């Protein structure tokens, strides 16, 4: 990644424990539950990878790349048939042992593409955190 751009969500306060969040997000099939209808098409997923289509971007692929038990999950991906990116889920524990989450997207973007993509990426990260905060079925893990 030569033109690495970093985008970070706010911290989200969840209704599950860190270990429940970790188990849930290490199976990428569960991510479909956080994406509002109409945002993606052609969702196909296995436990460690998925592919889908975004209307303005085209085909996108994600695959599990790295994990730190109950702390961090990293997915690597590609879009626009060339841009590499990573989606990093940072997990921590709050005072009452519920999970806090912060999502980071690192992308290989040239300056012009970064300028165009910054607002949609920020909106995506905010939507993802909002969906995670409102989610209640953390123990209902796929597979």
Q: Which of 18-27, 39-48, 96-105 has the lowest mean pLDDT?
A: 39-48
Kindly report the pTM of this predicted structure. Answer: 0.88
Whether residue 129 is contained in a domain is answered as yes
Q: Are strands 4-8 and 99-108 parallel, antiparallel or unpaired?
A: antiparallel
Query: Does 45 reside within a domain?
Result: yes
Least confident of 30-39, 50-59, 61-70: 30-39
Q: pLDDT-derived band of residue 81, with 50, 70 and 90 as boundaries?
A: low
The answer to whether residue 72 is domain-embedded is yes
Query: What is the reported pLDDT for 1?
Result: 45
Give the domain range for residue 91. 4-134
Residue 127 lies in a domain: yes
Helical H segments across 16-75, by residue range: 18-25
Beta strands in the chain (DSSP E): 4-8, 12-13, 40-46, 49-54, 58-68, 72-79, 83-93, 99-108
Of 72, 98, 121, residue with least CA distance to 12 = 98
CA gap 118, 30 in Å, rounded: 26
Cβ–Cβ under 8 Å, residues 90 and 71: yes
**DSSP calls for 44-59:** EEETTEEEEEETTTEE
Task: Tell whether 13 is covered by a domain.
Answer: yes
Confidence check: pLDDT of 10 > 80: yes
Query: Using an 8 Å Cβ cutoff, are 9 and 131 in contact?
Result: no
Residue 96 lies in a domain: yes
Give how many domains the chain has, as a whole number: 1
CATH code of the domain containing 15: 3.30.530.20
Question: Is the pLDDT assigned to residue 79 strictly greater than 90?
Answer: no
Is 105 within a domain?
yes
> Could you tell me if residue 102 is inside a domain?
yes
Q: Once rounded to an integer, what is the mean pLDDT over residues 127-141?
A: 88
User: Which positions ≥6 away from 8 have C-beta within 8 Å?
Assistant: 102, 103, 104, 105, 125
């Amino acid at each position: 990644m030569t033109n690495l751009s970093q985008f970070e969500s706010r911290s989200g306060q969840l209704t599950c424990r860190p270990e429940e969040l970790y188990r849930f997000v290490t199976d990428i099939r569960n991510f479909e539950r956080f994406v509002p209808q109409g945002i993606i098409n052609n969702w196909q997923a296995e436990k460690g990878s998925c592919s889908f289509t975004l209307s303005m971007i085209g085909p996108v692929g994600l695959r599990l790349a790295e994990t730190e038990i109950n702390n961090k999950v990293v997915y690597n991906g590609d879009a626009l048939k060339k841009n590499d990116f990573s989606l990093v889920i940072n997990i921590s524990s709050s005072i009452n042992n519920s999970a806090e989450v912060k999502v980071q997207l690192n992308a290989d973007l040239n300056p012009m593409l970064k300028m165009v993509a910054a607002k949609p990426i920020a909106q995506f990260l905010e939507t993802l955190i909002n969906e995670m905060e409102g989610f209640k079925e953390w123990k209902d893990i796929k597979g």
